[in-house]
Structure 1
Amino acid sequence: MKDESNFDFQQAIDLLRQRFEFDFVSIALVQSAADQFVLTWQYVSGNLNERYKRIILHSGKGIAGMVFKTGKPMIIQNIADELDPNDLFNYPIIVAEQLQTACATPLWKESRVAGVLLVGFRESNRLTSSLLDDFRQYIDPSFGPYFTRELVEE
């Protein structure tokens, strides 16, 4: 496993965005117990603004919070069709970055979710099954010091 302190997350997500032509890529990492295990967006690529810096998520809230809580990936092909417009305030990164398609996957460290990798497009229905397969193979079984549990044998 790669050492977290020596891994260049920014370079990794910049390369990920370029390789798959995502409009937006970000990593939310869990903050310490002193910060009540909140998630904050630490690394971004393709952002429209700096609003991500003010977003603080709790377990179960927002796309990152739900992926963190469940440990399961979340794919939204068409935000307009799949999310209630009155509920979008619960998805601040989607609103701030004007995403129309998003995929979030948990990043595991040992047996705990340590972060969430979010990729997205500003157009609907851009995540094809072949793109998702290529993306999963690219980040599995390891992404820096983390791994995604889906392809790791228990």
Structure 2
Amino acid sequence: MKDQPNNYQDEIDKLRARFQFDFVSMALVQPAEDRFVLTWQYASGNINERYKRIVLHSGKGIAGMVFKTGKPILIQNVNKDIQSSDLYNYPIIIAEQLKSLGAVPLWEGMRVMGVLLVGYREKDRLGEAAFNQFQKELGTDFETFLAKVVAQP
């Protein structure tokens, strides 16, 4: 991954404020020697530090599924969309008490290099239209992500 001159933490703080999300986090792929696991590296609006200890493999959890498929995920109402017996598969939802969330892949070239998760602690707060608009404004690669977030007042 290329070195970025911008500070990711500052950018996700701005992103959370701009779109009024309760929580924003970015998971990044760790190097090959770590078997390409994903870890939540940056968070804004977090209620604790548990996100730092979450390690996901491709196909597991929200970040793992987005990483594996390269497709965004929208969960409008956690209580309706995920069975309570399956919640343990989504540690970020439990740790941050999220009720409505979306996650998008962040591409670098032809590879997913990260996942951006946005959410609310209130059910049905993030609808399909709002999530689509967010994705459109955001873009999907790191450069677009940083450029658009930084460009906002």
TM-score w.r.t. the length of structure 1 is 0.88
| Partners of 2:107 and 2:141 in 1: CA distance | 9
Q: Which moved more, 1:133-142 or 1:63-72?
A: 133-142
Q: Hey, what does 1:100 align to over in structure 2?
A: 99
| Partners of 1:12 and 1:124 in 2: CA distance | 25
| Partners of 2:126 and 2:68 in 1: CA distance | 23
Q: How does 1:127-138 map to 2 (within 5 A)?
A: 127-138=126-137
Q: Which ranges of structure 1 fall in alignment gaps of 5 or more residues?
A: 148-154
| Partners of 1:130 and 1:145 in 2: CA distance | 21
Kindly tell me: are residues 139 and 145 of structure 1, through their superposed partners in 2, closer, same or farther at Cα, counting changes over 3 Å? closer
Q: Which ranges of structure 2 fall in alignment gaps of 5 or more residues?
A: 147-153
Contact 2:99 2:120 in 1 (8 A): yes
Q: Hey, what does 2:123 align to over in structure 1?
A: 124
Contact 2:38 2:56 in 1 (8 A): yes
The one-letter amino acid paired with 1:14 is D
Q: Offset of 1:94 from its aligned partner?
A: 0.4
- Tell me the number of residue pairs that the alignment of Structure 1 and Structure 2 aligns: 145
Which runs of at least 4 in structure 1 moved beyond 4 Å after TM superposition? none
The one-letter amino acid paired with 2:32 is A
Percent identity between matched residues is: 58
The one-letter amino acid paired with 1:63 is I
Contact 2:100 2:122 in 1 (8 A): yes
Q: How does 1:72-87 map to 2 (within 5 A)?
A: 72-87=71-86
Deviations 1:108-152 (A, max 9, x none): 0110000000000000111134422431232115443769xxxxx
Deviations 1:38-90 (A, max 9, x none): 00000100000000111000000000000000000000000000001011111
